[in-house]
Structure 1
Amino acid sequence: MDEIDKLREVQAKSKEDRIEVLERHQRIAADKKESARLKHLAAQENKEAKLLERKGKMHDKESKLLETYKTLLTLDTSQMPEDLKAEHMIALKSMREKIFSNRAL
């Protein structure tokens, strides 16, 4: 009888150990799944941040261009030689087209 009881105890312990191993595997699988989800979320956020950064740089570039355009518009050309006035007008026209064609899009 003692041997049968010991065998039952060993089998019960073995069953408990198998259940514990299965539970650990399930936790590991769940942790891996959560890790993959978080990595994917981080990658999406990183992509969005880079896009926003690019848009910010474009906005800065457009702002500088507009500021230069304003400066050229208010520049006194009355004392300029005719060839410089012509270049000044060409620069203004070119900048105006660039600025306002971008805004139309």
Structure 2
Amino acid sequence: MDIQAASKKRHEEFVKVQLRVSDAKVEAARLKREAAMLKTYNSFMGMNTREMTDELKAEHAIGLKLLREKLFCNNS
């Protein structure tokens, strides 16, 4: 194997590793975002709505619905 072929092979392996690292970073960012949404959803679920105005209750319900759809609906 000549030097050029060995260099090309190392470069291809490097690119594969970089792609795996990049994919892992994207997945970590997705999970972090999903965890933040779940934390917000749980916070919304625990809110006392008794003293909220009707307008605020409606906004609260919309927020819960949107978060629930993002978190729990499987659109595959």
Q: Same fold (TM over 0.5)?
A: yes
Residues in 2 aligned to 1:83 and 1:43: alpha-carbon distance in whole angstroms? 53
Higher helix share: 1
Could you tell me which runs of 5 or more consecutive residues in structure 1 were left unpaired when the two chains were aligned. Answer: 1-28
Partner of 2:61, secondary structure, is: helix
Which of 12, 18, 39 is the equivalent residue of 1:67?
39
Between 1 and 2, higher relative CO (CA 8 Å, sep ≥ 6) is seen in: 2
Residues in 1 aligned to 2:4 and 2:58: alpha-carbon distance in whole angstroms? 68
Residues in 2 aligned to 1:78 and 1:40: alpha-carbon distance in whole angstroms? 61
Please provide the CA RMSD for this pair: 1.4
Instruction: Name the structure 2 match of 1:100.
Output: 72
Give aligned-pair identity as a percent: 26
Q: Could you list the runs of 4 or more consecutive aligned residues of structure 1 that deviate by over 3 angstroms after TM superposition?
A: none
The count of aligned residue pairs is 76
TM-score, normalised with respect to structure 1: 0.67
The amino acid that maps onto 2:72 is: F
Larger Rg: 1
Could you tell me which runs of 5 or more consecutive residues in structure 2 were left unpaired when the two chains were aligned. Answer: none
The amino acid that maps onto 1:41 is: E
Partner of 2:73, secondary structure, is: helix
